[in-house]
Amino acid sequence: SSTMAPVIMGAPGQPALGEELTNSFCRTEPDIAKRFARVTFLSDNRQDIAGLMTPTLILQSTDDLIAPVCVGEYLHAALPASTYCLVDNVGHCPHMSAPGACSVAMDSFLLPWVGADASR
């Protein structure tokens, strides 16, 4: 955990975030973590999204070791109702290391459903 979490987190200027992710990994029961890792890294769910018309926001970091930009681009091409937002960020957790950019993207994506009142 202490080796992989900082690599996954990225955020070179925010070492506390790597520590936070390490602590989160260490709190997870080992059997559950093992099953989660197996499903996450060995599953191929590309067929599951075929024909999906649900509006979807794809937040993609510009530099992500786990999911490179081509993954976000693939999803955007495969999901006709998707909105693709490339966040200038290093790491796989932009919601933690670039929360402002993520918040702006989410607000913009949700605006058609919540209306102008959400911007107040």
| Two tokens, residue 112 | 């058609």
The pLDDT tens digits of the residues spanning 54-65 come to: 999 999 999 998
Select 4-119's CATH number: 3.40.50.150, 3.40.50.300, 3.40.50.1820, 3.50.30.10.
3.40.50.1820
Q: What share of the chain is helix, strand, coil (3-state, %, to 5)?
A: 60, 15, 30
List the chain domain ranges: 4-119
Greater model confidence, 105 or 25: 105
The owner of tokens 């099953």 is: 35
97 CB neighbour count, 10 Å cutoff: 23
CA dihedral 66, 68, 69, 72 (to 10 degrees): -50
Segment among 77-81, 92-96, 98-102, 116-120 with least mean pLDDT: 116-120
Segment among 1-5, 25-29, 37-41 with least mean pLDDT: 1-5
